[in-house]
Amino acid sequence: MSKTLTDSVFTFSRGSLQLTAKILRKQSASLALEVQNILGQAVLPKPDGATENRMSDCFQCELDSFKVRAVVENLHLALAEAELSMHSDASRAGEVIMIKALTDDWILLASAMFTKLQQE
Residues 120 and 43: their CA atoms lie apart, in Å, by: 28
Residues 79 and 83: their CA atoms lie apart, in Å, by: 6
Beta strands in 6-78 (DSSP E): 11-13, 58-60
User: Is-contact 14 44, C-beta < 8 A?
Assistant: no
pLDDT of the chain, 120 residues: tens digit per residue:
333 444 588 999 999 999 999 999 999 999 999 999 999 999 998 777 666 777 778 999 999 999 999 999 999 999 999 999 888 888 888 999 999 999 999 999 999 998 888 887
Task: State the virtual CA torsion across 89, 70, 55, 60 in degrees, nearest 10.
Answer: -160
User: Is-contact 113 65, C-beta < 8 A?
Assistant: yes
- Domain borders along the chain are 5-119
